[in-house]
Structure 1
Amino acid sequence: MHPAHSTRAASFLRTFLTIGVLAVLLLPMARTNTQLIGFLPLWLVAMPASALWALRRVRAG
């Protein structure tokens, strides 16, 4: 991956992770389980955090 693309992706993931954490902390509806996509904290916090971690591991290695 080109360094500019990984920097842009990391910036997007950090922004999405921040918004997701704030949503889970401040909005009770963001802590529920929906039929359409499942457990919302997984998609709002855990998935962006794991993607950011993986991106950093790929860039470091």
Structure 2
Amino acid sequence: MKVPKNVWDGLEAVRVSGKTNMLIVSDVIRCAQMLGYPETAQWIQDHRSEYWEGVFQGFVAST
């Protein structure tokens, strides 16, 4: 799933932090906000089906 680079950065920051399971969407959103990635949190809220696609198939930063 291609996502904007700034969104990918936030998703990756949440993932490597180990603070939440990426399947718990509300926690991922909250963690992204706490880590300083509000655009990632907003993208997840606005693109829920794309988020799930990326969780299971992988995310790629668009250039």
TM-score normalised by the chain length of structure 1: 0.32
TM-score normalised by the chain length of structure 2: 0.31
Higher relative contact order (CA 8 A, sep 6+): 2
Bigger radius of gyration? 1
